[in-house]
Structure 1
Amino acid sequence: MESGYVTTPFGRRPMSLGMLASQQLAETIEPGIKRSKWKLFRAICEARPALGVTDRALTVLDALLTFYPDDEISEERGLIVFPSNAQLSLRARGMTPATLRRHLAVLVEAGLILRKDSANGKRYARRDRAGAIGEAFGFSVAPLLARAVEIESLAAAAVADRELVRATRERLTVCRRDISKLIAAAIEEGVPGDWEQISMLFRDLVLRLPRVASAGALTALLDEMGLLREEAVNLLERQVKIKKMDANESQIERHKQNSNPDSRSELEPSFETKQGAKAAADNDPVAGPQDEPRLKHQGPSGRKPPMADPATGHGLKSFPLGLVLQACPQIHDYGPGGTIGNWRDLMSAAVVVRSMLGVSPSAYEEACAGMGPENAATVIACILERGGHINSPGGYLRNLTRRTERGEFAIGPMLMALVRANGGVRRVAG
């Protein structure tokens, strides 16, 4: 700063600690530093929200910079501009004097300019015999030069944030389109699943989408929509695989021939089922009488229905452990040592909770076989979280297992409803 000492404002304008801090900052300009005034002004426009200035205040700053004689701001060329209010008002698009003074105060408070007032408050410069400016009174742009690096960093961060918001909005638009068309296709094709619940969740997410939002808010909504889209795709892919398996089985059945013309098995399908069950029992050395219901359920080929066999890849999709724990925080208390760090801890806690809720071992074993151990433990955690709304946890679990085998149950909507009830989705890893 040219004066080298603290200056106080003229008239009734009070001195503040902010003004003192700005004057001290202006004295820390690095030797030889210079910046293009218009590039620096554009950076200030980009970082305007972070700097706490209004667009009208930037209009006044633009007018002030037009009075600086050179394109580059540097200490060698001086840092004081001294236009009158009348001239400054003309270059500020005809701004009224009262409005002009108010926005000049905003720029001073934001630490972008400094006042260097004369004894009578007038703005002028004293020149020597050669016409060079010896001392000037007006507004100092020294803070712009002292804060140049900070302003440029804030501008770069604002540009990056704007680009992130734009990219996230584009991804949200694509995700919304995907979910809408997947739901329409599922309803038109009659795909089994709780599509009404999925549609309600989708409408709720769309209504929560604000017109103006930060990157963090948009990312959280994109996370929820991504989970919903994955659930819809999972249900549709499962139906496609079922149709492929049905088509393959029908092709095999069309090529079957009965080499024994005296056989009565074609007229007695129930007898054929028993024969198939017996054949499967003969081929299974560890099968016993207690396995007969299982073999009957498997059918003549000894296979379980596609939706109930995890090995076929048609079972429920497992969600990240972090998302499960966020949706069902109560399950933490039943883990080993009162915490859950992996899937094994969650399954151990589910066994404890199963016993506490009165769910029979057979019901839980059927759930593990039909859903997979991880998904069965997840469902137990959800039942614990909604314990006050479920009268018979064991019957409820058996019903969900049957619906899973028919391809009519999805864990995603249940988890997302609990996540929203517990405060929304955060980015988690599981």
Structure 2
Amino acid sequence: MQSGYVTTPFGRRPMTLALVRRQLATAEIRPGKTADKWKIFRDASEARELLGLQDRSLAVLDALLSFYPENELRQEAQLIVFPSNAQLALRAHGIAGATLRRHLGLLVDAGLIVRKDSANGKRYARKDKAGDIETAFGFDISPLLSRAEELAMLAQQVVSDRLAFRRMKENLTICRRDVRKLISAAMEEGAPGDWNTVEETYVGILARLPRAPTKDEVGAALDEMELLRGEIINILERQENEKNRSTNAAQNERHIQNSKSESTRELEPSSEKELGAMQGNDHAAPRVPIRNFPLGMVLRACPDVVMYGPSGKIDGWRDLMSAAVVVRSMLGISPSAYQEACEVMGAENAAVAVACILERAGHINSPGGYLRDLTRRAERGEFSLGPALMALLRGQSANDRSVG
């Protein structure tokens, strides 16, 4: 293989530093390296979008590889093919000349081939006395051998992303079905709640999805739909708990009325301390746990908190809770207010609440008082983090669209 120097294109085609870098990389192929040319072609086909190629570009690359006589590309071999445009067009399924030249340029720009032009721009080979090719001018396909491993990794990435995208769409379909049927059941059975507003939120999430959504758009819709599903389940759970409390209270009252035959002494508390405990238990309402949300969703809704994590990143819930302590101090939230939030909401959800407050810090006069108010509302079962995260996610999506 001829290498070790940089060649410039013929005619008006410009030389770029990117072309220099590609040719130098080609000259550094590991000695003895080999690869199957059709395996490389399949990897390049799989990764065509990442490489900026079109289907016609792949047809031209396929035609070029067909002019190389062996299936295996070898580092020590002559890796230059020199077909005429007419021959190339024929093997590329009759592609027009102008289209052929454009896609050859795309293959060069993608770094899959390199032009090695002769003095007059013609493509040909010069052979020695033994009939072996001594010098060739045309298209150097050695970059394919040089980038074989890279192209394989790109192909794997595309396959993995495609699988993740398909699963994401399946999860959105399932979540969408759950939300739709839960709303319908609540409406048909007369469950208390503003179900019209919930339904409007559901319709709004779907309305923002374009006809052919990207992975990011499907991910944002899935996040919002999962939040909405969590909120609906929270509402129904609270109603069920209230119903159970009412039923238990009625049963206790009947039990007391039916226990008149028992000794009054047996029903009296043995001490004033026990009396206080019983009275306290009589008035204490069981607390409905606030749901935890996926960490990735929280970080998409509250990206500002990431810089306060250990080493400026957040890889898990422990990192988020550590960041929340730093943010709590920075915002002037007292340790007692944060401790109370942890006791009522749970440590993870308290950290999420602080992250939400940080995201809206410019609109909150007293972060400490705001957190205490959220804690009191959560204790009464009147607050959930779902709507706050959903609103922040919508804001982030709107910002991304305006920047794009």
1:290-331, Cα deviation, whole Å (9 max, x unpaired)? x9xx97xx9xxx7347xx432xxx4655779995994999xx
Listed one character per residue, the Cα deviations across residues 268-302 of structure 1 (whole Å, up to 9, x for unaligned) are xxxxxxxxxxx9999754879xx9xx97xx9xxx7
Q: Which one-letter code corresponds to 2:151 in the other structure?
A: I
Instruction: Determine the structure 2 residue equivalent to 1:152.
Output: 152
- CA, structure 1 residues 105+87, in 2 after alignment: closer, same or farther (shift >3 Å)? same
User: Structure 2: how far apart are the matches of 1:43 and 1:328?
Assistant: 38
Aligned to 1:58: 58
Quote the Cα distance in structure 1 between the aligned partners of 2:394 and 2:54.
Answer: 39
TM-score (norm 2): 0.72
Change beyond 3 A, Cα 1:13–1:340 = closer
SS in 1 for 2:134: strand
How far 1:81 moved relative to its partner? 0.9
Alignment of 1:289-328 (within 5 A): 303-304=282-283, 308-310=285-287, 314=288, 317=291, 323=298, 326=302
Instruction: Give the match for residue 411 of structure 1.
Output: 384
Where do 1:273-288 residues align within 5 Å? 285=273
Query: Equivalents in 2 of 1:198, 1:189: separation in Å?
Result: 16
Report 1:189-268 matches (<5 A).
189-247=189-247, 256-257=257-258
Q: How many percent of aligned residue pairs carry the same amino acid?
A: 44
Which of structures 1 and 2 has the bigger CA Rg? 1
Q: Kindly tell me: are residues 196 and 95 of structure 1, through their superposed partners in 2, closer, same or farther at Cα, counting changes over 3 Å?
A: same
Please tell me whether the aligned partners of residues 220 and 393 of structure 2 are also in contact (alpha carbons under 8 angstroms). Answer: no
Query: Taking structure 1 as reference, are residues 373 and 342 closer, same or farther at Cα in structure 2, changes over 3 Å only?
Result: farther
Residue identity opposite 1:199 in structure 2:
E
> For residues 230-276 of structure 1, what are the alpha-carbon distances to aligned partners after superposition, in whole Å with 9 as ceiling and x for unaligned?
2212222333344445455556666754858xxxxxxxxxxxxxxxx
1:341 corresponds to: 325
Structure 2 unaligned runs (5+)?
A: 262-266, 309-322, 399-404
- Cα distance in structure 2, aligned partners of 1:372 and 1:233: 17
Distance in 1 (alpha carbons) for counterparts of 2:38 and 2:104: 19
Q: Distance in 2 between matches of 1:424 and 1:3?
A: 49
Counterpart of 1:91, as a letter, is R
Question: What TM-score, normalized to structure 1?
Answer: 0.68
CA distance in 1 between counterparts of 2:304 and 2:33 reads 57
Aligned to 1:135, the other structure's residue is in SS state: strand
Q: Counterpart of 2:7 in structure 1: which amino acid?
A: T
1:340, 1:346 within 8 Å by CA — same for their partners in 2?
A: no
| RMSD, matched Cα | 4.6
Amino acid of the structure 1 residue aligned with 2:325? G
In structure 2, the residue matched to 1:269 is none
**Take 1:376 and 1:43, find their aligned partners in 2: how far apart are those partners?**
47
Task: Kindly state the Cα deviation for residue 49 of structure 1 after the two structures are TM-superposed.
Answer: 2.1
Unaligned runs of 5+ in 1: 261-278, 333-338, 354-364, 426-430
Query: How many pairs are equivalent?
Result: 365
* SS state at 2:139 partner: strand
For 1:416, give the aligned amino acid: L
